[in-house]
Amino acid sequence: MSIFGSMKTAVSGMNAQANRLSTVSDNIANVNTTGYKAVSTSFSSLVLPSSGGNYNSGGVQTSVRQAVSDQGDISYTTSTTDLAISGDGFFIVQGPDGTPVLTRAGDFTKDDEGNLVNAAGFGLMGYSYDSGAPAVVVNGFDGLVPINVNQEGLTAIASTSGVFKGNLDSGATIAPVAPATAPSANAATTTADTKKFSMVAYDHLGNKVMYDFYFTKSSVVTPPPATGTASTWEVAVFRNADAATGGTTSFPYTGGAGAVVVSGNLTFDRNGKMLTGGALTINDTTNALSINMDLSGFTQLGAAFAGTGTPNGQAASPVKDVTIDGDGIVYAKYEDGSTKPLYRIPLANVASPDKLTLMSGNVYSANGQSGVTVTGFPQTNGLGTIKSGALEGSNVDLAGELTEMIESQRSYTANSKVFQTGSDIMDVLVNLKR
């Protein structure tokens, strides 16, 4: 056996334990770093060929492994812009150079321009709702923009669509709906069998515009047929602002027959399910509104009248807060309680997260060993859920790291003793000549 070989092996062992101690020190230093993933050192032996009864000592080499796929503990905070991922996936962020990278560190706060930036200075990326509901680009980062939550001033959105659903009492009697007496003729009086509902919409300036919906049973087939129309209801819509101001009824609305904004018929089968008439468009020239109403949710069953309307649009209101839901949608919350989607945050993942390239700032980039980056929305394709007002902590086990530190120290000392022993033997050989 070569004495020099044993000394080189001891040096190899000391270097390996020094690398191990380096990963331990990194883990301990980042035990409180948001989204930090622990690194560890694995050892593999180097064996040199031996022959003739002589053994050639080899050595040891190390490789660093990352526990990127291990979930850290989630703790809750008071900031709605603190984000944690429960499950698989990474936030897509960009640094000052504009290059998209991946991270689990979701400690985002607003910078001086309103962009969400984490403690390492990386800005959160997402898809904007400026052109409607966004679609994800599954194989790249195209279309992503910095998420900016500065929403100043007042915002008003005109109503363009709405949903009206409920139940029309199948026990209602047929009302006199001849052309001269139907509600759509603006001459009728409401009875127990003509049901009125009202719905608030918004014009282009954010002003409220209320519409009155009148539902009147106009025909019924007895006995009801096995297929086809069993009963018909007339629906007539008026502007509430045109309602009569005196008496006990809103009729007649000002403007005569022209006061009717729109009217139509709803037909139901014998089971109370709607057959036709589920769509109605309110073309209100007075308020410059065109609202596509979906009435297909109405039924005709033996129960009391019930109805609820949910149009889109928004009154003029200032932004009060910004909220983020589990699907990654960033909402502006207005003072009147309404919300508006601003961005949608995607998540990205790779086939082997533990093989990602670690970079400064607790971010990662994909490489040939990790696999290509695949992007998707939270809670789709195996991706996790975004939790607002929460942070993912480091997955470092401090007690385990302290144990490894002691083991590394002892192993380093043992390797140094081997080196020292080899050095002493070399002294003996040198002294033989003296």
**What average pLDDT does range 389-411 have in this prediction?**
91
Q: Which residues pair with 115 in a beta bridge?
A: 148
Q: Is pLDDT at 1 greater than 60 in this prediction?
A: no
User: What is the predicted pLDDT for the residue at 113?
Assistant: 85
Quote the pLDDT of residue 290: 93
Confidence band, pLDDT 50/70/90 cuts, at residue 257: low
Per-residue confidence (pLDDT) for residue 172, from 0 to 100: 83
Model pLDDT for residues 190-214, shown as the tens digit of each residue: 666 788 888 999 999 889 999 999 9
Q: How far is CA 393 from CA 82, 153, 176, in A?
A: 12, 36, 70
> So what's the pLDDT on residue 221?
86
**The two structure tokens encoding residue 266:** 């709803």
Give the tens place of pLDDT for each residue, 125-155.
Answer: 999 988 778 888 888 888 899 998 887 666 7
pLDDT band, very low/low/confident/very high, at 246 (cuts 50, 70, 90) = low
pLDDT in tens, 86-106: 999 999 999 888 899 999 999
pLDDT of residue 131: 78
pLDDT at position 52: 67
Average predicted confidence (pLDDT) for the chain: 86
Kindly tell me the burial class for residue 410, based on how many C-beta atoms sit within 10 Å of its own C-beta (0-12, 13-18, 19 or more): exposed
- Provide the percentage of residues in the chain whose pLDDT is more than 70: 93
Q: What is the pLDDT of residues 161-175, one digit of tens each?
A: 999 999 988 888 876
Give this prediction's pTM: 0.65
Please say if the pLDDT value at position 317 is more than 80: no
Output the pLDDT for position 152. 64
Q: Could you tell me where the beta strands, DSSP code E, fall in 55-193?
A: 59-66, 74-76, 83-86, 90-94, 100-103, 109-110, 116-117, 123-128, 145-146, 154-157, 161-169
What pLDDT is stored for residue 45 in this prediction? 81
pLDDT of residue 190: 65
Q: Is the pLDDT of residue 330 over 80?
A: yes
Mean pLDDT of 278-303: 90
* 65 HSE (CA, 13 A, CB side): 10
Distance CA 251, CA 237 (A): 12
Which of 59, 17, 25 shows the shortest CA–CA distance to 42? 17
Do the beta carbons of residue 182 and residue 133 sit within 8 Å? no
